[in-house]
Amino acid sequence: MILVTVVTIFPEMFPGPLGHSLLGKSLGKLWNLKTVNIRDFAMDKHNTVDDSPYGGGAGMVMKADVVDLAMRRAISFYEKLPSILFMTPRGAVFSSDIARDIMHDNQNGMIILCGRYEGIDQRVIDFWKEKYCMVEISIGDYILFGGEIPAIVVIDSCLRFANGIMHNTESTKNESFSAGLLEYPQYTKPAIWNCMEVPKVLLSGNHKEIELWRTAQAEKITKEVRPDVWEKYENKG
List pLDDT tens digits, range 174-222.
555 657 899 999 999 999 999 999 999 999 999 999 999 999 999 999 9
Q: How far is CA 192 from CA 198, 199, 206, 214, in A?
A: 6, 10, 20, 20
Burial class (CB in 10 A: 0-12, 13-18, 19+), 45: exposed
pLDDT value of position 179: 75
Alpha helices by DSSP H, listed for 1-133, are 21-26, 64-75, 96-105, 122-132
Among 103, 131, 159, the domain-final residue is 159
CATH of the domain at 200: 1.10.1270.20
- DSSP string across 143-197: --S-SHHHHHHHHHHHHTTSTTTSS-THHHHHSTTTTSSPPPP---S-SEETTEE
Same domain, 122 and 38: yes
Same domain, 213 and 153: no
Please state, in angstroms and rounded to a whole number, the distance separating the CA atoms of residues 26 and 156.
12
List pLDDT tens digits, range 115-151.
999 899 999 999 999 999 999 999 999 999 999 999 9
Query: In this predicted model, which residue has the larger pLDDT, 180 or 9?
Result: 9
Among 102, 131, 159, the domain-final residue is 159
- Tally of domains in the chain: 2
- DSSP string across 223-236: HHH-HHHHHHHHHH
pLDDT value of position 218: 93
List pLDDT tens digits, range 81-97.
999 999 999 999 999 99
CB-based contact 1:28 (threshold 8 Å): no
List pLDDT tens digits, range 93-119.
999 999 999 988 777 899 999 999 989
Q: How far is CA 178 from CA 17, 20, 152, 174, in A?
A: 23, 24, 20, 6
| pLDDT over 80 at 158, yes or no | yes
Domain containing residue 84: 2-159
Report field, pTM of the whole predicted structure over 0.85:
yes
Same domain, 144 and 214: no
β-pairing, 192-193 with 196-197?
A: antiparallel
Determine phi and psi for 29, rounding to 5 degrees.
-115, -50
The β-bridge partners of 85 are 112, 135
Among 159, 188, 222, the domain-final residue is 159
User: 71, 73, 65, 72: which is closest to 49 by C-alpha?
Assistant: 65
